[in-house]
Structure 1
Amino acid sequence: MALERERMINTDDGLDTQASVRRANLRRALQLVFRNPGTQTRAGIARSTGLTAATASSLVAELIDTRLVVEGEQAASTGGKRATTLSIDASHHLILVLVIQPLHADIALVALDGSEVETREVSYSPAERDRLLDEAVAEVAAEFRGRLLAVGVQLPGTTDGRSVLESVQLRWQDVPLAERLEQIVDAPVLLVNDVDAEAIAEAGMDESPSGYRLFIHLGGGVGAAVTLDGELAPGPRDRAGEIGHVQVVFGEAARACRCGQRGCLESAAAMGAMLGEEFSDALDPAAIAELVARADQAQIDEGARALARAIKLIAALLDPTEVVIGGPAAQLGPRFLERVRRETEYPARGTAQVPVRYADPRVSLSAGAAQAALTATLGVRWNPQQLRAAPPS
C-alpha cells in the first residue's frame, strides 16, 4: 500500500530526526481527526498542534493520500472562507479481529471509523483448531487483499503480544502465533489477552480516562486487568491480573480448585462455581439467565463475598477510580452487584468506598482487540462515540 508500514508502526520518536518528527506530527493530526471526525479542519489541526497552516495542510494531504482521512462537508462560516471538514476514511483500510475460544473463534472486520463491516464464526475441535484458524484467516486475507491494516487476536491466556506464553484453555504454551499468522496475512499481528482486551475497550468508553481502573472478568475463570489513564498496565512479565488462584477463602468454607489448591478466588467467584457445572463460556445470555434463576442464591452470595475480599486488597493498594466487573457476570443481576458493593465497604477511618459497576453492555466483542491493533499500528485511539456505534445487522 502507499502507506509504508514502518513509518506508522514505529512509535520511537526519541531520535531527533526530521522523519521522526514528521511521524509524530502525522499521529497528532490523525488523532485529532479520530477525536472529532466530521468537525475537525486543517485550521483546527494547526491551532491544536501549534504547527503552521502549511505544515498542517501537508500532513492532511499525506493522510488523505494514504487513505486514512477523507474530506467532508464545509464547516460553518466564521467570517472568512468556509473550511472543509475532515473525517476518517472508512472505505478502505480494515482491522481483522480474531477472538479465539477453545471450540470456536469470532472473526470481525472493523473499519477505521470503528464500525464492524462484517462478522464470521468458525467452529472446530481442539485437534482441528490450528488448521481451521489458518484457513479462515487465509480466506479473509485473500478476499480483502491490500486492505488489511492490522490483525488483533484476542485469546485466553498470557501473551507478550507476539507469542502465547501460556493458555490453559487452549492448551498452548510458547506458541509464536503472531509470526505464524503474519505468514498468511500481509499485515502486522498483535496478540491480546482476552481480559486485557475487555479492559482496553472499557477504558475507551471514557472520554477522558484518568487514574487506575480495575477490570475483573468473571466467566469460566477469573481474571483482571489494570488500566492507567486509559492505557493498559500489563506488568514486566505480562502476567498482571492473574488473580484467579489467589487464596481468599479459608477454613472449612474453602473449596477445592481445579488448580489443586483450596480457597482460590476462582473456586468461589467463577461463574461455574456460583451457577454449577452446567455453566460454560459458550452459553448464550438466555441460557445463563436460566441458570441464574435456578442457582443457589447462598452460593452466589458467597462468590460475591470472595470477590469483594480480592477487590478490597487490590483497591487498598491501587486506589482505583472504579472497579468494573465484566464477562457474563452481568447476568447475575443487581443483587450480586449490591452484595459486592456492601462487602467492599470500609468502616475504618482514612479509607474511601471504591465505585463498583458492571461493564458497559454497548461495547462490541471486537472493540478491545481492534483498539489495541489500531494503537499499535497508527498510534491513535477511537473516541467513545465510535466504540458505541452499533454493528450493522
Structure 2
Amino acid sequence: MTAVSVGLPPTLVGTGDLFQLMRDGRPRTRGELAQLSSLARSTITARVDALLLSGLLQPVGEAASTGGRPPTRFAINPHDRVVLAIDLGASHATVAITDMSGEVLGQRTVDSDIADGPVTVLDRVAAIGVDLLGEHDRSIDEVAGVGIGVPGPVEHATGRPANPPIMPGWHDVDIPAHLNRHFPGPVLVDNDVNLMALGEYVTSWESSRHLLLVKVATGIGAGIVADGRLLRGALGSAGDLGHVQVAGAPDDVVCRCGNVGCLEAVAAGPAIAAKLRAGGLDVEGSQGIVDAVAAGEIAALQAVREAGRDLGTVLATCVNLLNPSVIVIGGKLSEAGEYLLAGVREVVYQRSLPLATHDLRIVSTAAGTQGGILGASAMVIDAVLSPRAVDAYVAQRTA
C-alpha cells in the first residue's frame, strides 16, 4: 500500500489507477470499466462510488439496455475544482481560472513589469486570482492547484528560477511557497515556452506525440514535447535555441549572452527591427515588424523571410536530432504569417534528412496567446489527477 493510500479501505486502494481510464473523456459504465480493468465488479462498484462521493466523477446518462434497467454512464466532473493558471511575461501578466478539463472560465491580462520583483509581481497576480474566483462564485478552497509560467529558466522540481536574465531579483526565489500563502494545492512552475508547447500540444496535437514549439519574439526559445511529455533536460534549460550560433552569421553581431552570432542576435524581434531602422524604415520592436509586414513594406517582408531562414538553419539540426512530427512557430513574430514560415520551411526541408521530414509539418500556432495559460492549466491537472493524487483526494473526501 502506498503512503497516499493510507486511510482507504482495501477495496479502494488503486482508485486513482481506475480513474485514469476515465481521463480520455469518454463516459463509461461500471461494466465497461470492469472489462477494461479486469477487476471484480464489486471492486469497480466500490471505487466508482468513492469517486462519485469525492466529486471526481459524475453520472452522465444511461447506456442502452441489454435487458433490465439501463446501466448508468459516468464521466469526469470538470466542475469539481478549479485551476489557477498564470502566464508572466516581461511586461505583462495573464491570470485565468479553468475547470478540470482545461476550459478557461475567466481571465484577466494586466501590464506588469517582471523587474518589479517577485513579491510585488506574485502578490499582484494572487490578488487578481482571488478576484476572478469571486467573480465566478468559487472559493479559494476549491483551487486544485496553481500553474505559473515565467520568462526564464526554472528548476522545475523546486519551482525556483535559475539565473533568469530578464528577471532581476528572481534567482532562487521560492515561488511555490509564496503562492501557497494565498492558495491551497500544489504550485507548479515552468518556463513560459515549455508551457506554450504543452498548451499547443493538449489543444491541437495530442495525436502527434512529438512536437517542437518555437517562440520568436524579443527572444527565441523552444519547448519540446517528446512522446507526449515535456522534455526539460537535467536542469530545466532544454530548448534554449536563442543562443545557438547561426552558421554564416557576422562575427560582429554580439548577443546579450556575450557570445557572437547567436540566433537571437540575428533573428529575434530587436535584431530585425535594428536592421530595418538601419535601412531607413522606422520600426520599433516585434509589433512594429508585424505592422510593417501587414502594410506590405518590402524591406520588412524580406527581413522576416531572412529571419525565417536563419531560424530554419538551427531547426534543421533539431529536426535531425529530435525527429518531431510537427514544428509550431509562436510568439509575436509568428503574426507575420507565411513570410516567417516560408523561410523556416525553405531551409528545414532542404537541410534535414528526408526520413526526418517525411511527415513533418511546420505550422503557425493555433493556441496563440492562450498557449501559456492552457499549458499551465494542463500541467496542474495532470499532477492533481495522477493516480497517487487521486488516491489521496478520495481518502480526504471520504474520510
Q: What TM-score do you get using the length of structure 1 for normalisation?
A: 0.81
| Per-residue deviation, 1:221 | 0.6
The one-letter code of the counterpart of 1:32 is L
Pair 1:186 & 2:184 matched: yes
In structure 2, distance between residues paired with 1:82 and 1:275: 66
On the 8 A contact 1:201/1:363 being kept in 2, the answer is: no
The one-letter code of the counterpart of 2:82 is L
In structure 1, distance between residues paired with 2:218 and 2:248: 22
The residue number in structure 2 matching 1:3 is: none
Pair 1:370 & 2:377 matched: yes
Secondary structure of the 1:244 match is helix
Pair 1:57 & 2:53 matched: no
The residue number in structure 2 matching 1:173 is: 171
Within 5 A, what are the aligned runs for 1:70-81? 70-81=58-69
| Per-residue deviation, 1:79 | 4.3
1:85 to 73, 95, 98: 73
On the 8 A contact 1:275/1:300 being kept in 2, the answer is: no
Identity %: 27
Secondary structure of the 1:33 match is coil
The residue number in structure 2 matching 1:113 is: 101
In structure 2, distance between residues paired with 1:231 and 1:249: 31
In structure 2, distance between residues paired with 1:343 and 1:296: 19
Pair 1:291 & 2:280 matched: no
| Per-residue deviation, 1:54 | 1.9
Within 5 A, what are the aligned runs for 1:192-341? 192-204=190-202, 205-210=204-209, 212-250=210-248, 252=250, 255-276=253-274, 278-279=284-285, 289-293=290-294, 294=297, 296-341=300-345
Deviation string 1:173-211 (CA, Å, 9 cap, x unpaired) is: 11111122112222210001111101112222334343x
Q: 1:50 to 1:153 in 2, by over 3 A?
A: same
| Per-residue deviation, 1:101 | 1.7
In structure 2, distance between residues paired with 1:91 and 1:315: 40
The residue number in structure 1 matching 2:56 is: 68
| Per-residue deviation, 1:352 | 4.2
In structure 1, distance between residues paired with 2:55 and 2:33: 18
Deviation string 1:295-317 (CA, Å, 9 cap, x unpaired) is: 52222122111111111111112
In structure 1, distance between residues paired with 2:183 and 2:249: 53
**Higher share of residues assigned helix:** 2
On the 8 A contact 2:319/2:356 being kept in 1, the answer is: no
On the 8 A contact 2:96/2:107 being kept in 1, the answer is: yes
The one-letter code of the counterpart of 1:292 is V
In structure 1, distance between residues paired with 2:206 and 2:61: 25
Secondary structure of the 2:48 match is helix
In structure 2, distance between residues paired with 1:316 and 1:98: 34
Pair 1:164 & 2:164 matched: no
The one-letter code of the counterpart of 2:362 is V
Kindly report the root-mean-square deviation, in angstroms, between the aligned alpha carbons of the 2 structures.
3.0
The residue number in structure 2 matching 1:391 is: none
| Per-residue deviation, 1:222 | 0.5
| Per-residue deviation, 1:128 | 6.5
In structure 1, distance between residues paired with 2:174 and 2:351: 49
| Per-residue deviation, 1:363 | 8.0
Q: 1:52 to 1:269 in 2, by over 3 A?
A: farther
On the 8 A contact 1:279/1:291 being kept in 2, the answer is: no
Pair 1:355 & 2:353 matched: no
The one-letter code of the counterpart of 2:264 is E
In structure 2, distance between residues paired with 1:330 and 1:272: 15
| Per-residue deviation, 1:93 | 0.5
The residue number in structure 2 matching 1:384 is: none
On the 8 A contact 1:225/1:241 being kept in 2, the answer is: yes
The one-letter code of the counterpart of 1:234 is R
The one-letter code of the counterpart of 1:290 is D
| Per-residue deviation, 1:268 | 2.0
Q: 1:83 to 1:275 in 2, by over 3 A?
A: farther
In structure 1, distance between residues paired with 2:330 and 2:351: 27
On the 8 A contact 1:122/1:132 being kept in 2, the answer is: no
The one-letter code of the counterpart of 2:267 is A
Task: Specify every segment of 5 or more residues in structure 2 that has no aligned partner in the other structure, as ranges.
Answer: 275-282, 388-399
The one-letter code of the counterpart of 1:146 is D
In structure 2, distance between residues paired with 1:200 and 1:114: 12
Deviation string 1:198-229 (CA, Å, 9 cap, x unpaired) is: 1112222334343x322211111111122111
Q: 1:352 to 1:147 in 2, by over 3 A?
A: closer
The residue number in structure 2 matching 1:387 is: none
In structure 2, distance between residues paired with 1:325 and 1:288: 16
In structure 2, distance between residues paired with 1:240 and 1:122: 29
